């Protein structure tokens, strides 16, 4: 088997999952990778394992370099099952001298696998372990995105093994950022952040400052999913800085679900008003756009306008599900508004407006409710609302520019 060397003596030994299409509710149309890294030194060290279903691929890649039984240390940067599912089997094969993890990692490993008899070495931020010619420096990254998460920095090589940060769900035969199309990689990195790390944006900002203050000489970032960054490190770091500050483009999203096309007609009229105001927009029917793809667009949008018909005194199921998903990711600092059609009770618009308010959106319209099929005059009201929202976006951009 062909080996992939990051630098002399450091190898990628992970697995490629070409077929996965759903990652706990997040659509992974390009599959993913489960990255693991092997360091050949006086103490041979494996960083992370893989999903249990892909252990054979992990072992094949390790055996192309060294007998797995010669591995001395096993570092667990993150205990989630896509990285530690193969851990019990690998512990039996390797029988390492040390199983290295954070304090929260130790607790999570015991809680998952009910084994407190493994040779744990617990490390905290700033701790270092010598492998011989190389030194690992550890940085706890709690809640990015689990309590146990941590980074491992190989000081002499300038390689940051970054767990789930800076990753993408992106299956490919290319291992490095300069081998794959950068546009595709960044699209997947954006989606990854929007659906996994968005709610932790304040922590991401603090982490970026901590890494900057540590003056690490980062020559490569090796995440647990997707490509390894060696040529476009500034690109991904600047993107994370922008996303963590929740900076946005001046773009509006009209996101809706419809029963008998009345709410759809309203959505189209709102979009027409946005167009007439001269702002960029996208019209997203939840029937055709997966919630994780919609969240990716929300990450960099300035305004979010939600529409739903009323059903059983509430929202249509797709909108209700999307709203629950969006609430959990906690987007903030956006303009918001709501609209929808109804037959006899009409609660949907109020529910949407309340949700936007609770998410701390700046709700700039009372919301439009229209009974059954909107008339031409009512659609004109929708168009005018879209136009007002567009003008508000332009005005806020002008003020920010000043």
Q: From the candidates 11, 37, 192, 193, which is the catalytic residue?
A: 192
Q: From the candidates 17, 57, 73, 78, which is the catalytic residue?
A: 78
Residue 384 annotated to the active site: no
CA dist., res. 401 & res. 387, Å (int)? 21
Neighbours of 181 (CB within 10 A): 11
Q: From the candidates 80, 257, 264, 365, which is the catalytic residue?
A: 80
Phi-psi region of 290 (alpha: psi -120 to 50; beta: other; left: phi over 0): beta
H/E element, 358:
helix 348-358
Q: From the candidates 82, 148, 188, 224, which is the catalytic residue?
A: 82
Distances (CA, A) of 222 to 1, 53, 113, 268: 21, 22, 26, 44
Q: From the candidates 106, 145, 169, 232, which is the catalytic residue?
A: 145
Residue 148 annotated to the active site: no
Q: In the beta sheet, which residues pair with residue 269?
A: none
Q: From the candidates 157, 164, 188, 224, which is the catalytic residue?
A: 164
The tokens describing 125, both together, are 């931020």
Q: How many residues does the chain have?
A: 402
Residue 164 annotated to the active site: yes
Q: From the candidates 24, 92, 114, 358, which is the catalytic residue?
A: 24
Residue 325 annotated to the active site: no
Neighbours of 376 (CB within 10 A): 7
CA dist., res. 96 & res. 289, Å (int)? 46
Residue 80 annotated to the active site: yes
Residue 82 annotated to the active site: yes
Q: From the candidates 54, 106, 169, 225, which is the catalytic residue?
A: 225
Name the nearest CA neighbour of 129 among 36, 45, 22.
Answer: 45
Distances (CA, A) of 73 to 78, 139, 311, 315: 15, 18, 57, 52
Active site residues: 24, 78, 80, 82, 145, 164, 192, 225
């Amino acid at each position: 088997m062909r080996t992939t060397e990051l630098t002399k003596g450091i190898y990628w030994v992970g697995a490629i999952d070409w077929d996965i299409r759903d990652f706990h509710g997040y659509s992974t149309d390009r599959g993913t990778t489960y990255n693991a890294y092997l360091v050949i030194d006086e103490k041979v060290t494996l960083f992370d394992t893989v999903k249990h279903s892909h252990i054979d691929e992990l072992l094949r890649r390790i055996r192309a370099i060294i007998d797995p039984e010669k591995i001395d240390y096993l570092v667990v940067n993150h205990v989630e099952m896509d990285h530690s599912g193969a851990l019990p089997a690998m512990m039996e094969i390797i029988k390492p001298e040390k199983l290295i993890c954070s304090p929260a990692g130790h607790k999570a490993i015991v809680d998952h696998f009910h084994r407190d008899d493994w040779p744990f070495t617990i490390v905290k931020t700033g701790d270092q372990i010598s492998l011989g010619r190389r030194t690992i420096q550890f940085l706890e990254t709690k809640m990015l995105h689990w309590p146990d998460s941590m980074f491992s920095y190989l000081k002499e090589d300038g390689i940051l093994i970054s767990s789930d940060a800076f990753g993408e769900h992106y299956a490919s035969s290319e291992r490095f950022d300069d081998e794959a199309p950068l546009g595709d990689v960044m699209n997947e990195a954006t989606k990854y952040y929007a659906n996994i790390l968005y709610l932790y944006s304040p922590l991401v900002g603090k982490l970026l400052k901590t890494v900057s203050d540590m003056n690490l000489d980062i020559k490569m970032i090796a995440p647990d999913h997707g490509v390894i960054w060696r040529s476009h490190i500034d690109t991904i770091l600047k993107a994370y800085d922008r996303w963590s500050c929740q900076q946005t483009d001046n773009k509006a999203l009209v996101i809706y679900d419809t029963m008998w096309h009345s709410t759809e007609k309203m959505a189209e009229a709102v979009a027409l008003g946005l167009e007439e105001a001269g702002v960029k927009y996208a019209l997203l029917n939840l029937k055709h756009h997966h919630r994780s793809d919609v969240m990716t667009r929300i990450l960099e949008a300035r305004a979010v306008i939600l529409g739903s018909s009323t059903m059983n005194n509430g929202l249509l199921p797709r909108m209700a599900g999307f709203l629950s998903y969006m609430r959990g990711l906690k987007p903030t600092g956006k303009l918001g508004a709501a609209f929808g059609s109804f037959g006899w009770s009409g609660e949907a618009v109020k529910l949407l407006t309340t949700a936007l308010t609770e998410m701390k959106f700046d709700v700039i319209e009372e919301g439009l409710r229209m009974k059954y099929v909107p008339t031409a005059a009512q659609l004109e009201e929708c168009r005018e609302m879209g136009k007002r929202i567009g003008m508000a976006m332009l005005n806020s951009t002008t003020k920010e520019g000043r």
